[in-house]
Amino acid sequence: MPTLLARRFWGGHVLMLLALAAAVLLGLWQLNVWQAERSASAIDLTRDPPVPLAGVMGGDSPFPGDAVGKPVTMSGRWLPAGTVYVSGRYDDNRRGFWAVTPVKVGRSAMPVVRGWTARPQASQPHGPVRVTGWLEPSEGQGETDVNPHDPVITSMRIASLVEHVPADLYSGFVIAKEVSTSSTTGDHSTTGDGLAPVNPPRNEQVSVWTGLRNFLYGLQWWFFGGFAVFIWWRWCRDQLAPRVEEAPAEREEPVTPRR
């Protein structure tokens, strides 16, 4: 009776071990990616020291996914003609608007959330400015804007600001923490013009969907490993099964007719 340790079976055993090791390692790698992505999503950057905006992103670059909520500083000039008001924003339990005015930084403009207001009206700033605030990505579509030509928009979606701002836009926006309106005297205010300050959204809650694809990939690789073991087991069983040899057919004796 053959044994599984026979030399002619070694190739099959080695192939199974290699397939199983590859599946386990690839599954662990995908789970590590899943955990790393969830950990990165849970990092709260809002308490970090501010850095220059130019060191984080440029006017033509896509929004860096690892910079959500990062404090930045920038200098430029207000573009008061591009002021808009974002509806559906709350200050405690009060529903109102965000007052947003872009700042021209180099060749592009960065939308700046200056503060919260109960009505879609606020004084428009002018002149040079230095802003320190939290960097945020463009929001989704939000509610339908029934009048896209008025200064009220339904979400901080960069595409919704294009027709309001006479300059190319960054792919994100800044929630102002401190606004310095005079570089010579150092005068500054938290938001300015009686607007209530806006706090950045906290990023401590991680969605169940974050990194889910990598988690499923890890399970998929382990399923492949289990399938490889099943195939190896079937192969071993077939090799050890006794072989049934066909018995030779009996020769039929010729029948002699009786006389």
Q: Provide the 8-state DSSP code for 245.
A: P
User: What pLDDT does residue 146 have?
Assistant: 72
- Cβ neighbours of residue 194 closer than 8 Å, sequence gap 6 or more: 122
pLDDT reported for residue 101: 97
Q: Which long-range contacts (CB under 8 A, 24 or more apart) does 154-163 make?
A: 154/86, 154/87, 154/88, 155/86, 156/86, 156/98, 156/100, 156/111, 156/113, 158/111, 161/82, 161/84, 161/100, 161/102, 161/111
Mean local confidence (pLDDT), 221-233: 89
Q: How confident is the model over 12-53, as pLDDT tens digits?
A: 888 888 888 999 999 999 988 888 777 766 667 788 899 999
pLDDT digits (tens, 9 = 90+) for 99-155: 999 999 999 999 999 999 999 999 989 999 999 999 999 988 767 777 777 899 999
Which tokens in the block code for residue 205? 């809650």
Domain spans of the chain? 7-39+210-239, 51-189
- pLDDT exceeds 80 at position 6: no
- Say which CATH class 51-189 falls into: mainly beta
